[in-house]
Amino acid sequence: MTADLSHLDGEARRILRLNDKGGYTVPTAGLYPYQWNWDSAFAGLGFACFDVDRAWSELETLMSGQWENGMVPHILFHRPDPGYFPGADIWGTQDAAGKGAGRVASSGISQPPVAASFAWRIYQRDPEAGAERLRRMFPGLMAFHRWFMAARAESGAVAITHPWEAGRDNAPDWDAAMARISPEGVAPYTRRDTGHVNPRMRPTKEDYDRYIWLVQFGRERGWDDAAIAAESPFRVAEPTLTFTLMRACRDLRLAAGVLGEECAEIDGWIARLEAGAETLWNPETGAYDSYDLRSGQLAGAVSNASFLCWWGGLDDRRSRPTLARILDTARFALPSFDPAHPKFDPLRYWRGPVWGVMNMMAAIGLAEQGLSTEAARIRADTAALITENGFAEYFSPEDGTPAGGATFTWTAAIWLAWASPSAGEV
């Protein structure tokens, strides 16, 4: 008999409302006081389970910060909050003359483009109510994807200019690339994140110095994509952005179909991304990997992003043995980094913990490609982690210890949309 977990559905809805700031949702109070790009898209997916109108307004507020070049920033600073670093004054995007920064103060980089995928899912909740809102959002989503293909996909796979752009801030994938940065000239700063969360669960100071160096580097170049691409020591093509953009393009194509829009450009993007993804295949690890465009080397990193290939829509069984090994090793799936690797750390952010949002995308992709056993295991593990440990930001794959922020928006969202028994088959 399945346990009655309806009280968790209610708690998840409460968390979404708790973190609702009126048109946008913060990931959690204190630690993340602004609107984050992919967090917000997941929030929209969660709201769609009980308030479709509010779901659309979440994405509409996110798209209101779009730059003239199509980029949707990774943070929108709607209201000043002196408790967060680095804030809008550090990014300096409003001084980016000629770059067409958006109407909302923002960061100068983007994040995994899941917005189109979740706009499509929100539309499917109520096609009649959502048709016009999807139609109005479609040009902006096209521009967002067009920007990625022009500014980040020179190798076919999608590259990041900053670890924050992948959403996997301190993943071991970028250790070698980050080591090339000597963070001289970084202005003195005070971190705020470690005042909210145990420093044991966050990136190190050495990581953070380099993060801020890259922010200063981008600001000095006026957030000019071409200049940053040409001059930055850090440029890594990686699976998170490649596969989320691939999936988003497929979902945008579905939207184009119902809206009567042309699909040829989107089809071209999908073909380029599929070819580019092959450059990320690492036969030594048996998984998709990150590729350092400066050194020409694969990272040798097996991460949860490695298994987003199925979410991207690839019917590729080559990763299945590596996935089986990871599932056999971890008590709870999917760890964000290979537990057999010396750099694995079960509690330090993206160097080992389980993230429910990555689990959702990986498992849905697996199920769609007919790998139902693996998909069911990941979904069951995610449900168990939340049931036993609450709506934490992330969890230890060894014993389920909740880590990072609490009452976390996207964990609540994926519970409602996917992990909860009430979500049904997804």
Active site residue 224: no
Of 166, 154, 144, 173, give the one whose Cα is nearest residue 70.
144
Phi, psi of 76 (to 5 degrees): -110, 120
Please, which residues bridge with residue 20 across strands? Answer: 25
Catalytic option among 11, 39, 169, 225: 169
Please, which residues bridge with residue 159 across strands? Answer: 237
Of 48, 93, 39, 85, give the one whose Cα is nearest residue 67.
93
Per-residue HEC secondary structure of 88-145 comes to HHHHCHHHCCCCCCCCCCECCCCCCCCHHHHHHHHHHHCHHHHHHHHHHHHHHHHHHH
Q: What is the DSSP letter of 187?
A: P
Q: Determine the 3-state secondary structure of 403 from DSSP.
A: strand
Q: Cα(73)–Cα(70) distance, rounded to whole angstroms?
A: 10
| Start-end of H helices in 283-345 | 320-329
DSSP 218-231: HHHTTT-HHHHHHH
- Which residue bears the tokens 């980040």? 152
Phi-psi region of 172 (alpha: psi -120 to 50; beta: other; left: phi over 0): alpha
Contact 281, 318 (CB under 8 A): yes
CA distances from 42 to 24, 91, 121, 224 (A): 11, 25, 11, 29
In whole angstroms, what separates CA 168 from the centre of its chain? Answer: 7
Active site residue 128: no
Burial of 373 (0-12, 13-18, 19+ CB in 10 A): exposed
Q: Tell me which residues are annotated as active site.
A: 169, 393
